[in-house]
Structure 1
Amino acid sequence: HGSEARARILKFEGDEVIIEFEGSFCATCGLYDYFDDIKWEARDLGLELEPVEVLEAEEDDFEHGRYVVRYRLGRKPILAMGGKD
């Protein structure tokens, strides 16, 4: 969502990923659409993420907020080692 909201990974352990969202969220787009969009971006990297729970939510009066969301990781990427047989 470009300059509207930013996401950053706070924790990645086992099958759990914690992602923080912060910014000016478009109220007409639907807040949870931002959380769902990350799973589509992850698919491009070979990952399956599913939002499970909003752990923290802070909002002000003008569509700005900070949200911490827990995701479940389905499939992990397979990394190939170059030059190894």
Structure 2
Amino acid sequence: MEKLDYVIKEFNKWHGREAQARILEAKEDEVIIEFRGTFCKTCGLYDYFDDIAWEAIDFGLKIKPVEVVESEEDFEEGRYVVRYKLERD
């Protein structure tokens, strides 16, 4: 869980102006992460979800986004809850 906290911290450091992530729930083989923000309109939305997985590699974690559990969008801001699978070696 500590490594995952660092992943979120790094993501927020690099994407914080557009999107903030936070862990809602963490289990042994999956994690639920909430994203909130304005999100870059020229970037792909799913790129944000994939960026967490790429960031995790730097901390020795393998996670993969598998499902958008919830989504709320309005003109200016959005909220997305994404389920990730943790892969074990």
Count of matched residue pairs: 75
Q: In the alignment, is the contact (CA less than 8 A) between 1:46 and 1:75 conserved in 2?
A: no
Question: Rg larger in 1 or in 2?
Answer: 1
Q: Letter of the aligned partner of 2:34 in structure 1?
A: E
Equivalent positions of 1:72-83 (< 5 A) are 72-75=85-88
1:56 aligned residue: 70
Where do 5+ consecutive residues of structure 1 fail to align? 77-85
CA offset digits 1:48-71 (Å, max 9, x no partner): 010000000000013x10000000
**1:31 to 2:67 alignment:** no
The alignment's TM-score, normalised by the length of structure 1, stands at 0.83
Taking structure 2 as the reference length, the TM-score comes to 0.80
| 1:35-60, Cα deviation, whole Å (9 max, x unpaired) | 00000111111100100000000000
Structure 1 or 2: more helix by fraction: 2
1:41 to 55, 73, 79: 55
2:78 to 65, 68, 84: 65
Unmatched runs of 5 consecutive residues or more in structure 2: 1-14
* Runs (4+) off by over 2 Å: none
The 2-side partners of 1:26 and 1:55 are apart by: 21
- The RMSD of aligned alpha carbons is 1.1
